[in-house]
Amino acid sequence: MMPRTHVMIGALVGALLSFKFNIAFTDVIIAAIFGSFVDLDHVVSHWQKSGRLSISDTLRVDVKGLEHSRTPWIHGKYGLITMAIPALIAYYFFGLKYGLLVYLPFLAHLFFDFIVPYSNFGKVIYKFGHYLIPVTFEELILDVFTFDLLMASLIYFSIIA
């Protein structure tokens, strides 16, 4: 999945935490960041292969090989432990709400990476500036649904008015 989908899913998880906690818009932003933070392993993989540490180069080059650039320390079996460390630090210093704002978007990231199969069905690659933005039919449907649910949650919980 592309980072934009993970940002929206992370933000949605943050907004849905309003069922239990008092969530502000900045908390939703924190959840969105940690929802896509996991994809930094693609940048590390690209850096190891090319010697260039660049997020924009990774996005441009990795469009075709996104599924093959995962590293096991985040998308694999060690990912749960790797992301538990910042979550435990957030929990220890800031409380349960922030521990969950760090860890639950990561779990949602992994969940959606594994349940939504990577496919080329209806795949279109758009060029936006010097970026290539791939959109598959499945991810487009998920993006629209997630965005609608996110906006409804933000309004319902009065996170934005």
Q: How does pLDDT run across 65-122, given as a tens digit for each residue?
A: 555 555 556 776 777 888 899 999 999 999 999 999 999 999 998 888 777 766 656 6
Q: How far, CA to CA in Å, does 104 sit from each of 64, 138, 147?
A: 28, 23, 18
What span, in angstroms and rounded, lies between the C-alpha atoms of 122 and 126? 13
What span, in angstroms and rounded, lies between the C-alpha atoms of 133 and 26? 27
pTM above 0.85, yes or no: no
- pLDDT at position 123 is 66
CB-based contacts of 25: which residues, under 8 Å, 6+ apart? 154, 159, 160
